[in-house]
Amino acid sequence: MNQPASLIFSTRIVIMLTLALGIGLLGGACQSQGKANPGPQGQTGPTRSTLSASEVALISSASPTVKPATSTPTITSTPTPRPTPTPTLDLSQCNAAGCGAAARPLPTAEFNDDLLLSTEPHVRRRCPECPANPLFSKAELDDLLIADPATLAKLQSLVLSQEIYELAPGVVFIVYDNVYHVVIDLRASGYRLRNIIPESAERNTLITPSYCYTPDSLVVINADYHGLNGSNKTETGRDLFFHLGRAALFQQSGRFDLDVIRERSIYDRTTLSWGGGPIFLWYGKYDYNPEQEWFEQEDLDYYRDTYWAKVSAAITKDHKYLFLTTSYGLSLKEHAENIISLGETWGMKVDRAMRFDGGESAYMAIRIGDKMVPILNLEEPLIVNCLAVEQAP
């Protein structure tokens, strides 16, 4: 029985609509799974169509246009990267071999005459004209400085062990290849640095290091002269600095540096300083006297060539660590090479160093227990000021 043409045509439309809807749903499912069927020449989509042009036109006019649902993408704001400050080294985990895992146990070194180590109780210099210590009586100073045999034995053990001796968090003492070092983490907070000058005295008044001791003393060394503050900050001192130039270890805006100061604006911002020179380590290399620093050539030759005791200050390139170093039996170049080598062993780049003083003026003492023990077997010198490391109150 023949069907009416209209019925056949309607049935075909229903079939084509169903087919189109099925293809659409299938394509949507594939798209939701992130897949597509590759077509000829790399195109995507169905592989073929079975509909005539008139049929496609009819379906298009009968089917609503359905737009795929879209979602607003979530934009995550990535903060601008900021450089992470290099953490300061835990000095208490170091020794002469390195720090952390590299600080393996080391054998005890042999005693060496170049250590110039004091093995006898210290004898204070008699100096009637020197100002008295403002905090200690003569008897109290003797008790502080006259180390007993057990303390002297401990000092020798520390020197030969090649291990760190922590004086305070961030302040350590170590002997590296027969050279004495006090290394200070300048970001630590358990100590303070002081330039100690007689409170009421004429310029160039001589003192002994005993004048500089306080109940909080951890380290005391001789400094070359007053530096940019204290009694040197006078018109005469200022004229000498700007006309002739002199190296100094100084602090500005909480940051320590080592340089020759020639500008008044820098001079006025200096809050703490010690004078010295000549500079002998510059940009990480031995470089003796890069600038004229108010020294006669004869003095410069002596400082460079003498093997007598010397005391120096050095600072790392990142301005995080200060080295106070004392040696005997080394030239200035060998002294510099020792500081550079210790810095490299600990992963530091020592950038600059200057000589404080030397010869019979060389002095370094550290606290061991309740005693301050001078390191070098020398008579207590006559000096003009001290660099002191003290326990923070």
Q: Is residue 106's pLDDT more than 70?
A: yes
* Range 121-134 average pLDDT: 92
Model pLDDT, residue 73: 38
Model pLDDT, residue 176: 97
Annotate 95-120 with DSSP letters as a single string. ETTEEGGG----PPPPP-GGG-B--S
| Per-residue model confidence as pLDDT tens digits over 285-297 | 999 977 778 788 8
The DSSP call for residue 227 is T
On whether residue 90 sits in a domain, the answer given is no
On whether residue 81 sits in a domain, the answer given is no
- The sign of the torsion formed by the CA atoms of 12, 14, 19, 24 equals positive
User: For residues 386 and 212, is the Cβ–Cβ distance under 8 A?
Assistant: yes
Model pLDDT, residue 243: 58
Distance from C-alpha of 363 to C-alpha of 380, rounded to nearest angstrom: 7
* Confidence grade of residue 310 (pLDDT, cut at 50, 70, 90): very high
Distance from C-alpha of 356 to C-alpha of 294, rounded to nearest angstrom: 14
How much is the mean pLDDT over the chain? 79
* Confidence grade of residue 71 (pLDDT, cut at 50, 70, 90): very low
Model pLDDT, residue 2: 44
Query: Nearest 5 degrees, angle CA 31-CA 34-CA 40?
Result: 75
To the nearest 10°, the Cα dihedral for 337, 343, 345, 346? 170
Domain that holds residue 252: 116-391
Number of domains into which the chain is organized? 1
- Closest to 192 (Cα-Cα) out of 209, 208, 169, 222: 169
Distance from C-alpha of 188 to C-alpha of 186, rounded to nearest angstrom: 6
Distance from C-alpha of 321 to C-alpha of 381, rounded to nearest angstrom: 27
- Closest to 302 (Cα-Cα) out of 353, 227, 358: 358
- Closest to 211 (Cα-Cα) out of 155, 151, 277, 129: 129
* Range 110-135 average pLDDT: 92
Model pLDDT, residue 261: 78
On whether residue 58 sits in a domain, the answer given is no
Model pLDDT, residue 387: 95
Collapsing DSSP to helix, strand or coil, 204 comes out as coil
| Per-residue model confidence as pLDDT tens digits over 342-364 | 999 999 999 999 999 999 999 99
On whether residue 62 sits in a domain, the answer given is no
Is the model more confident about 261 or about 203? 261
pTM, rounded to two decimals: 0.76
10 Å CB burial of residue 291 (0-12, 13-18, 19+) is: middle
CB burial of 362-393 (b: ≥16 within 10 Å; e: otherwise) equals bbbbbbbeebbbbbbebebbbbbbbbbbbbee
Model pLDDT, residue 50: 42
Query: Nearest 5 degrees, angle CA 351-CA 347-CA 248?
Result: 25
Model pLDDT, residue 273: 86
Distance from C-alpha of 373 to C-alpha of 375, rounded to nearest angstrom: 6
Q: Is residue 124's pLDDT more than 50?
A: yes
Q: Is residue 331's pLDDT more than 60?
A: yes
**Residue 182: phi, psi to the nearest 5?**
-110, 120
Model pLDDT, residue 6: 45
Annotate 338-360 with DSSP letters as a single string. HHHHHHHHTT--EEEEEEEEEGG
On whether residue 187 sits in a domain, the answer given is yes
Model pLDDT, residue 140: 96
| Per-residue model confidence as pLDDT tens digits over 157-207 | 999 999 999 999 999 999 999 999 999 999 999 999 999 988 765 666 889
On whether residue 46 sits in a domain, the answer given is no
Helices 5-32, 53-62: axis angle to 10 degrees equals 80
Helices 332-345, 297-305: axis angle to 10 degrees equals 50
On whether residue 383 sits in a domain, the answer given is yes
Q: Is residue 232's pLDDT more than 70?
A: no
Q: Is residue 238's pLDDT more than 70?
A: no
- 298 CB neighbour count, 10 Å cutoff: 8
* Confidence grade of residue 242 (pLDDT, cut at 50, 70, 90): low
